[in-house]
Amino acid sequence: MTRHRRGPDLSSEKGVALIYMAVVLTALLLFTGLAIDSGRAYVVKTQLTKAADGAALGAARHLNSGDPRGEATRIFKANFATGFMGTLPAPDPTEAPNFFALRTDDAAGVNIVTVTASATLPTTFMRLGNFNQVSVGTLGEATRRMVDLSLVLDVSSSIGSKWPAVRDAARSFVDAFDQNYDRVSLLTFGNGAKVIDAMSASRGFAKSTVMSDVPNALPGGSTAMVEGLYRGWDELRAVPGGQQSNFRVIVLFTDGASNSVPGNYEAQPGTTTGLRTYDFPKNNPDPDGQTWNNPTIAGLYDTQTGGVVGPSRSLMVANWNDTTVIPAVAWLPLTSFHAHHRSAGIPTSFPLQTAALTVDGVPQSNVRGLRQKNVATGRYPAQVFNINNAARNLLEIIANEARNDNGDYRIRIYTIGMGDLVRYRLGTMPEKPEDILMRIANDRDSTDFNNAQLEGKYYFAATEADVGPAFQALQNQIIRLSK
């Protein structure tokens, strides 16, 4: 008899395979769901982080004025729309108590804005594993350094009818700073230099007072820029060491060139006065009549009040190369002198020229040097040539000293030049005043840029209509760097 061997029970094996297949497919679905839902969560997390970071930065920019929390909310919603990638609309992240936070680190001199946000994402495939939703959270942070700023405004007569535009732009500029944490001092210069609002040792400044103290009408006078810059530097130094902000700035606005030398003149012993010249040579079209081929020497002006000290002394010379001097003020002092200051240890005198600084790559004392030195006394005659050169040299020398200031933090200088006069070729070289303004700002575009010092910037306003945008551009630069 032939026996038949029974084969395996295929139906039983198929049943086991189906079970295995069901388990494997379920696992694959879970892993696929995890990958898909994790990917969605990653996209949500990335966008949430972008929105929070942007909100923190926007709020930091609006700490000085406006509504920083409102700005943070606006930016966050613009970058993370309700229901993004299927996230639940409630609760609204911007309505959470901890969405916006601001704290101040006085020791570090910074304000710190924190934006915290979270979103809930319903899952899809992960529901198979009883995971119905995923919570995603993030934190954005931005810092804004506190600012110590000296605003130094030229109020000389040459500004004329353009003054209202300058006044309004300066007031708007001041309004951009934080009255609770920043410090702002206001100074003007004409025949002399005045501190209208001194810098406080404590945090903050009286914003409305400083804004209203920008003169409503143009005071007038000449261009004692040397003394104006010096006093602006002194105001920054007046904040005690250990309390200075880590962003220290001088902002200088002018429509012309430095033309006054402050010092102790023998004609008025015991006082600090300035001797100045008119700008030369004549440039055309010069609609305001501010340049001359036969300039005048004038003085002596109190370096603070700008008033004439003693008898008025004035002499028009035949040409700018003329060696004639006013008999009573025949010689320049050996150095400048600065009697008005508040800070301890600030230098009170500077040489009238130096070989340590360059003008277009050439030592200052060579290209803009003084002439006809009296060997016995070491002094130079107070002729137009020497007064003009010394006034320009001193501006660069004091700016260099300010940028090298050994306070808690180094100082940046920004300058704004307005109108035709800053682009006329003036002085003994001749040279454009805006080149000097670039030099004292240590603008990277200057041929004499010093990469060992902090970089500033020069802004040009061709007309009064451009003054507001120039101040706005400068304001943006300061806010950007103070982050």
In the chain the first and final C-alpha atoms are separated, in Å, by 100
> What CA–CA distances, in Å, run from 466 to 7, 347, 469?
99, 36, 5
Please indicate, yes or no, if residue 428 is contained in any of the structural domains.
yes
176, 479 contact by CB (below 8 A): yes
Does 102 share its domain with 159? no
Range from 21-35, 420-434, 455-469 carrying the lowest mean pLDDT:
21-35
326, 297 contact by CB (below 8 A): yes
Alpha carbons 68 and 61: distance in angstroms, whole number:
8
Nearest to 80 by CA among 58, 56, 120, 49: 49
**Domain containing 50: what range?**
19-145
φ, ψ at 405 (rounded to 5°):
-55, 135
Count of Cβ atoms closer than 10 Å to residue 267 Cβ: 20
Does 156 share its domain with 86? no
Alpha carbons 47 and 44: distance in angstroms, whole number:
5
Please indicate, yes or no, if residue 469 is contained in any of the structural domains.
yes
Higher per-residue pLDDT: 25 or 137: 137
Does 62 share its domain with 185? no
Helices (H), 404-482: 433-441, 467-481
Decide if pLDDT at 175 tops 80: yes
Q: How confident is the model at residue 2 (pLDDT cuts 50, 70, 90)?
A: low
Please indicate, yes or no, if residue 9 is contained in any of the structural domains.
no
Residue at 43: amino acid letter: V
CA 327 to chain centre: 44
Does 132 share its domain with 216? no
Q: How confident is the model at residue 8 (pLDDT cuts 50, 70, 90)?
A: low
Alpha carbons 178 and 105: distance in angstroms, whole number:
15
Does 218 share its domain with 88? no
Alpha carbons 229 and 115: distance in angstroms, whole number:
40
Does 91 share its domain with 226? no
Does 424 share its domain with 343? yes
Domain end position, chosen among 125, 145, 165: 145
426, 280 contact by CB (below 8 A): yes
Q: How confident is the model at residue 461 (pLDDT cuts 50, 70, 90)?
A: very high
Task: Give the per-residue pLDDT at 219.
Answer: 96
403, 443 contact by CB (below 8 A): no
pTM of the model: 0.81
**Tokens encoding 103:** 């704290």
Does 353 share its domain with 391? yes
Does 419 share its domain with 382? yes
Please indicate, yes or no, if residue 4 is contained in any of the structural domains.
no
Greatest mean pLDDT among 79-83, 114-118, 128-132, 419-423: 419-423
Decide if pLDDT at 243 tops 60: yes
Domain end position, chosen among 145, 175, 205: 145
Please indicate, yes or no, if residue 11 is contained in any of the structural domains.
no
**What b-and-e string marks burial along 330-361, b requiring 16 or more CB atoms within 10 Å of the CB?**
ebbbebbbbebbebeebeeebbbbbeebbbee
Taking each continuous run of H as one helix and of E as one strand, the counts in the chain are 9, 15
Nearest to 411 by CA among 454, 357, 441, 444: 454
Task: Give the per-residue pLDDT at 6.
Answer: 57
> What CA–CA distances, in Å, run from 438 to 194, 252, 367, 415?
24, 11, 17, 7
162, 149 contact by CB (below 8 A): no
For residue 120, with 0-12 CB atoms within 10 Å meaning exposed, 13-18 middle and 19 or more buried, which class applies?
Answer: middle
Q: How confident is the model at residue 40 (pLDDT cuts 50, 70, 90)?
A: confident
Region 301-325 average pLDDT:
96
**Tokens encoding 204:** 């903050």
Number of domains forming the structure of the chain: 2
- The pLDDT tens digits of the residues spanning 417-444 come to 999 999 999 999 999 999 999 999 999 9
Sign of CA dihedral 353, 356, 361, 363: positive
Alpha carbons 88 and 435: distance in angstroms, whole number:
59
Average pLDDT over the chain, rounded to whole? 90
Count of Cβ atoms closer than 10 Å to residue 58 Cβ: 21
The CATH number that applies at residue 215 is 3.40.50.410
Alpha carbons 475 and 195: distance in angstroms, whole number:
22
Decide if pLDDT at 272 tops 60: yes
Higher per-residue pLDDT: 327 or 63: 327
